[in-house]
Structure 1
Amino acid sequence: MKRIAMLGLLLAAGCTQPADPRGVRPDEVLLQVAATGRAEAAPDEARITVGVSSNGATAQAASAANAQAMSRVTAALARLGVKAEDVQTQNLSLGRIDYGPGRGGYRAENLVEVRIRDVRQAGPAIAAATEAGGNVVSGPNLRASDPDAVLNRAYAAAYRAARVRAEAYAEAADLEIARVVAIRDGAGQPPVPYGGRYAVVEAQAANVAPPVQAGSDTYQVQVHVDFALKR
C-alpha cells in the first residue's frame, strides 16, 4: 500500500505544471505595455543668483567694499519680503587682479542664491538687488515648489494610457484583462519649459523690474505594466 501511495504522489507531482516566473497562470496570456504620461504645471517659485563683485587697491579694501555692498543687497531683498532662510551663499572669492585696468589691485566677489516664493516677485527682486548695488545677476530658474505632486499626476496619466492600450490589444485578440501582474516605474524626465523665460534686460540699468514670464513646465514619465489576459 505504501508503494502504491508513493507512486500516486509521484504521478501527481509529474502532472503539476511549474509556475510561470512571469506571474501568469496557464490559462492566461502575458501582455507587457510601456506608456508615457505627461502633466503640466505653472512654476510657482523662482531661484535667482545675485551678488557683488568689488575691486580695491588692497585685499582689505576690496573685501570691505564688497561686504558693505552685499549688506545693502540683502537688506533690499529683505524689504521685498525675502526671508533669511531663502538666501544661501554660493560663492565667496578674493584674488589679485593680474590683467586689465585694475591690474595690481584685488577683487572680492560674493554670490548668493535667492529663493523667490512668488514668481511675480522675481522681476522686482532682480531690480531691487541691482539698485542696491548688485552687479552680478543670473536667472531666474523657475520651478514648481512641489514637483512630486506634478509627477504623480503624470504617473497616473501614464498608467491610464497603458490600460487603454492593453484594452485595445485584448479586444483585438478576443481576450479580456484578467488582472495586473506588475507595475514598474520608468525613468522620469526633467520638466520641459514652455513659455518665456526672460529676466535681465537693458531697462534694468534704469532700475526697472525686468519682465519674468512663468510659462508652464511639462513633466514626462514612463511606466511599464504587465497585464494578464484571458478568454
Structure 2
Amino acid sequence: MRPVAFALPLILAACQPAAPDPRGVDRDETLLTVSATGRSEARPDEATFIAGVESLAGSAAEATRLNNEKMARVSVALAKFGVGQDDLQTQNLSLGRVDYGPDRGKYKASNNLTVRMRQMERVGEAVAATTDAGANLISGPSLRVSDREAASRSAYAMAYKAARARAEAYAGAAGLKIDRILAIRDGGASQGEPIPLAEQAMSVQMAAPVVAPAPPPPPFNPGVNVSHVSVRVDFALKR
C-alpha cells in the first residue's frame, strides 16, 4: 500500500491545469495590440551656430597670423555672453594657396568654431558681436532642448492614454472589457528640431569697414521644439 500512497499526489498534480503564462492570454481572453503616439512641446534652451574666420595674405605665415588675431577677438566677444571655452569647438582649420581667380598666388587661412549658447534671449546679439569682431562666415543657429527626456515625459503619458482609450473603444464595440496589460513597448522618440546647420547655412562676407551707426542685432525667436513618441501596448480582453 505504501507505493499507492506516493503515486496518488502525483496523479492529482498532473490533473490540475497549468498556471497561465503572465505574458500571454488565457483561454477566455482576447489579445488586442494597440499602437499610439504622443506629442509634447518645449522651448529650446540651447542654441548652436558656427562662427568662421577667413583671411587672405601674401604668405602663409601672415594669413595664419591675421586669422588667429580675428579668432581671438571673436572668442573675447563671445565671452561677454557667457560662452566659455567648453562651449567652443573647432570644426575646421585650413591653410592653402589660392591657385585661381583674382587672389591667385595669395594664401587663405580659415577657422570655423561651433558656438553653444544658453542665453537664448541674446543669440541675435551674439551673432552680431562675432561679425563685429571679425567673423565673416556665419551659419545657424540650431536650437535644441538640453534635457530631451524631461521634455518628452508628457508625450509618453499622452501616448499611453491614447492607446488605452483606443483599446477601451475596441473592447466596448466587441462587448468586452480590458482585463489586464500584457506588455508595453516603447517605440522611441523623434525630436522636431529646426533645420540642421548644413541646410540653413548662410555666408556673410565682410567688406571694407564703413563708418556708419551700428545696426540692431538680427531678430531671433526660439519658438518651441516638438517631440513625438510612440508606444505599443498588448491588452488582454475578456467578457
| Structure 2 partner of 1:150 | 151
Counterpart contact for 1:80–1:125, Cα < 8 Å:
yes
Counterpart contact for 1:181–1:226, Cα < 8 Å:
yes
Alignment of 1:31-50 (within 5 A): 31-50=32-51
Per-residue deviation, 1:117: 0.1
| Structure 1 partner of 2:211 | none
For 2:188, what is the secondary structure of its paired residue? Answer: coil
Per-residue deviation, 1:6: 5.3
Per-residue deviation, 1:31: 1.1
- Seen in structure 2, the aligned counterparts of structure 1 residues 193 and 133 have a Cα distance that, compared at 3 Å, is closer
Q: Which runs of 5+ in 1 are unaligned?
A: none
Given the alignment of the two structures, is residue 118 of structure 1 paired with residue 119 of structure 2, yes or no?
Answer: yes
Counterpart contact for 1:200–1:210, Cα < 8 Å:
no
| Structure 2 partner of 1:226 | 234
- Seen in structure 2, the aligned counterparts of structure 1 residues 154 and 90 have a Cα distance that, compared at 3 Å, is same
Per-residue deviation, 1:119: 1.6
Counterpart contact for 1:199–1:212, Cα < 8 Å:
no
Counterpart contact for 1:86–1:115, Cα < 8 Å:
yes
| Structure 2 partner of 1:73 | 74
For 1:212, what is the secondary structure of its paired residue? Answer: coil
Q: TM-score, normalised by structure 2?
A: 0.84
Per-residue deviation, 1:26: 2.3
Counterpart contact for 1:193–1:215, Cα < 8 Å:
no
Q: State how far apart, in whole Å, the 2-side matches of 1:219 and 1:115 are.
A: 21
* Aligned residues between the structures: 227
| Structure 2 partner of 1:176 | 177
Given the alignment of the two structures, is residue 212 of structure 1 paired with residue 220 of structure 2, yes or no?
Answer: yes
Given the alignment of the two structures, is residue 164 of structure 1 paired with residue 175 of structure 2, yes or no?
Answer: no
- Seen in structure 2, the aligned counterparts of structure 1 residues 59 and 192 have a Cα distance that, compared at 3 Å, is closer
**Superposed CA RMSD:** 2.7
Q: State how far apart, in whole Å, the 1-side matches of 2:136 and 2:66 are.
A: 13
State the percentage of identical aligned residues.
Answer: 52
| Structure 2 partner of 1:108 | 109
Q: TM-score, normalised by structure 1?
A: 0.86
